[in-house]
């Protein structure tokens, strides 16, 4: 009998546990540990943030789904990993603290044969003074945050309806923040809603980003094929912002937020402020904050996790100049560097380096996006980690017939604006591979035939279709496994 424990019910962890539960039936146990009682389809939080969907439309309760799957669900927070066990347990175990009402505060040691860390990011609002929905800015990182953002956005819309001008500031709230794509989608939706209400003459909409050039998106930008021409994502992104009447500030590292005012430094080392009436700024990401201990209870966290709290896996973490990194340095199995029965999936793994060139101001402030691993890559990684564990259990030894390097994996991003069958449009961008491979593709860094950009209504329909399709898959409805990640 094998026992597999998965930490975190986000896209990666939930995908992994779905495949594990389907393949490991009699004689095996699959355990999900997550502090969240609900699954949320994060890409649709954007629509919650502009009032086009409710939180109930982007989430569902996990317990009934896991009961149907045969998964042992523990609504708890994982606080530490003990890969070598202790005097009481020969097996490795995870220490958890329950957050469910019936067991709140209770601690437990959960043993495992295999462990998947799919805890995702800590939303590190505190890394920027004054940032976050409990302070001076909004967020769309969770459905609760998005609902709060919509409430605040309505206040600004109401003021404009009464003839009062409003300034909107949307983008990244930390010099090293990632997830530019989500913020970019939100700024377009805000602009769309303002225009729909015929209030554009009273709105000053701004995009603020730590990108060196717009369209970087934490991937170092890309060259895309559009209408038969090769176009850099810089031009693609700037043209869309112009179309929606959005101004921009780039190369900006937000350092502090006060009520109605953002303080930021640019790559020239200049310090500026930007006033706002409404702001939605994405925070920096960090690891979940778990510790790791050996059999003697010695803290080995720095051997298991990188400095940002994300787990070190089968990547090349040797310090190198940015120009010396290669596509092959990226992980492919997501196995821990120290323990062969532990894996990290999705945002929980530590990337070996940035895809965007590291940039620093004369004051020593690092201002550039860190690598994105959300959405499609997270789902694919969760699946292959589960498949390798299933294979290893069946053959009785650890093997990795399945791989998913982001340097060989393609991804699609759909940035929509508006909602409904006939209202709205979307920018669809595909890249292949996600991590540029300049040795294989010396001219463009990626396969230009598979790296394209299109703007239109069709992409908007695709976004709507994906919302319902992936919620169907996440709920483990009949034949869910036929839907790709």
CA 221 distance to own-chain centroid: 18
Give the pLDDT confidence score for residue 431 in this predicted structure. Answer: 86
Question: Closest Cα partner for 250 from 125, 368, 138?
Answer: 368
The pLDDT assigned to 102 comes to 86
Q: How, if at all, do strands 114-117 and 107-112 pair?
A: unpaired
Backbone angles phi, psi at 345, to 5 degrees: -125, 150
DSSP assignment of 212-232 equals SSTT-TTTT--EEEETTEEEE
Contacting residues for 164 by C-beta, under 8 A, at least 6 apart: 202
264 domain-assigned:
no
Q: What is the CA radius of gyration of the chain?
A: 22
For residue 27, what are the domain limits?
3-123+286-395
pLDDT at 419: 63
Domain assignment present for 426 = no
SS3 53: coil
pLDDT at 297: 95
Asked if the structure places residue 68 within a domain, the reply is yes
Residues of the chain with pLDDT under 70: 226, 418-425, 456-460
Q: What pLDDT score does 458 carry?
A: 63
Say if 253 falls within a structural domain. Answer: no
Total number of domains constituting the chain:
1
Residue 67 lies in a domain: yes
Question: Would 421 be classed as within a structural domain?
Answer: no
Question: Please, which residues have CB within 8 angstroms of residue 102's CB and are 6 or more apart in sequence?
Answer: none
Residue 159 lies in a domain: no
Provide the whole-model pTM: 0.95
Decide if 271 is inside a domain. Answer: no
> For the residues of 151-195, what is the DSSP string, one character each?
HHHHHHHHHHHTT--EEEEEEESSTT---HHHHHHHHHHHHHHHH
- Residue 59: partners with Cβ closer than 8 Å, 6 or more residues away: 38, 39, 40, 41, 143
The pLDDT assigned to 463 comes to 80
Helix (H) or strand (E) holding 460: helix 457-474
Domain of 318: which CATH number? 3.50.50.100
CA distance 343 to 347: 12
Residue (of 189, 170, 198) closest to 244 by Cα position = 189
Instruction: Please state the φ and ψ torsions of residue 47, each to the nearest 5 degrees.
Output: -70, -35
Token representation of residue 106? 């209770």
∠ CA 52-53-57, rounded to 5° = 165
Spatial separation of the C-alpha atoms in residues 431 and 437, rounded to whole Å? 12
Residue count of the chain: 485
- According to the model, what pLDDT value does residue 71 have? 98
Name the one residue in this structure whose structure tokens are 């404009």.
160
pLDDT of residue 224: 80
- Cis preceding linkage at 276, omega within 30: no
State the pLDDT at residue 131: 98
């Amino acid at each position: 009998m094998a026992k597999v424990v998965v930490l975190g019910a986000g896209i990666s962890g939930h995908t992994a546990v779905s495949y594990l539960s389907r393949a490991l039936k009699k004689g095996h146990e699959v355990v999900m540990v997550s502090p969240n009682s609900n699954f949320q389809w994060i890409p649709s939080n954007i629509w919650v943030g502009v009032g086009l969907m409710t939180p109930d439309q982007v989430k569902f309760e996990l317990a009934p789904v896991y009961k149907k799957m045969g998964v042992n669900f523990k609504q708890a927070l994982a606080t530490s990993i003990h890969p070598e066990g202790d005097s009481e347990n020969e097996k490795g175990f995870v220490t958890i603290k329950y957050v469910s009402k019936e067991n709140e505060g209770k601690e437990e040691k959960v043993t495992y044969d295999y462990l998947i860390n799919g805890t995702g990011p800590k939303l590190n609002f505190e890394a920027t003074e004054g940032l976050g929905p409990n302070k001076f800015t909004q967020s769309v990182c969770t459905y609760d945050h998005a609902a709060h953002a919509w409430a605040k956005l309505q206040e600004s819309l109401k003021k404009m309806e009464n003839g009062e001008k409003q300034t909107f500031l949307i983008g990244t709230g930390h010099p090293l923040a990632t997830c530019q794509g989500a913020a970019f989608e939100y700024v377009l939706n805000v602009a769309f809603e303002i225009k729909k209400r015929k209030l554009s003459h009273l709105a000053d909409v701004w995009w603020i980003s730590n990108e060196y050039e717009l369209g970087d998106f934490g991937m170092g930008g890309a060259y895309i094929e559009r209408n038969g021409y090769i176009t850099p994502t810089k031009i693609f992104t700037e043209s869309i912002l112009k179309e929606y009447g959005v101004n921009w500030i780039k190369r900006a590292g937000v350092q502090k937020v006060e009520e109605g005012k953002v303080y930021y430094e640019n790559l020239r080392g200049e310090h500026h402020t930007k006033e706002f009436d409404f702001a939605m700024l994405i925070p920096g990401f960090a690891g979940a904050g778990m510790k790791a201990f050996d059999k003697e209870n010695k803290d080995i966290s720095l051997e298991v996790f990188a400095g940002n709290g994300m787990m070190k896996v089968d990547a090349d973490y040797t310090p190198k100049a940015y120009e010396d990194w290669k596509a092959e340095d990226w992980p492919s199995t997501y196995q821990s560097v120290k323990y062969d029965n532990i894996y990290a999936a999705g945002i929980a793994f530590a990337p070996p380096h940035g895809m965007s060139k590291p940039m620093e101001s004369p004051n020593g402030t690092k201002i550039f996006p860190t690598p994105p691993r959300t959405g499609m890559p997270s789902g694919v990684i969760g699946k292959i980690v589960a498949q390798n564990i299933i294979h290893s259990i069946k053959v009785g030894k650890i093997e990795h017939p399945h791989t998913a390097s982001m340097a060989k994996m393609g991804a699609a991003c759909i940035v929509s604006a508006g909602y409904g069958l006939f209202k709205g449009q979307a920018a669809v961008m595909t890249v292949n591979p996600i991590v540029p491979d300049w040795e294989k593709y010396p001219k463009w860094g990626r396969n230009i035939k598979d790296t394209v950009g299109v703007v239109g209504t069709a992409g908007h329909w695709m976004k709507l279709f994906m919302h319902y399709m992936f919620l169907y898959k996440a709920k483990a409805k009949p034949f869910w496994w036929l839907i790709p990640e």
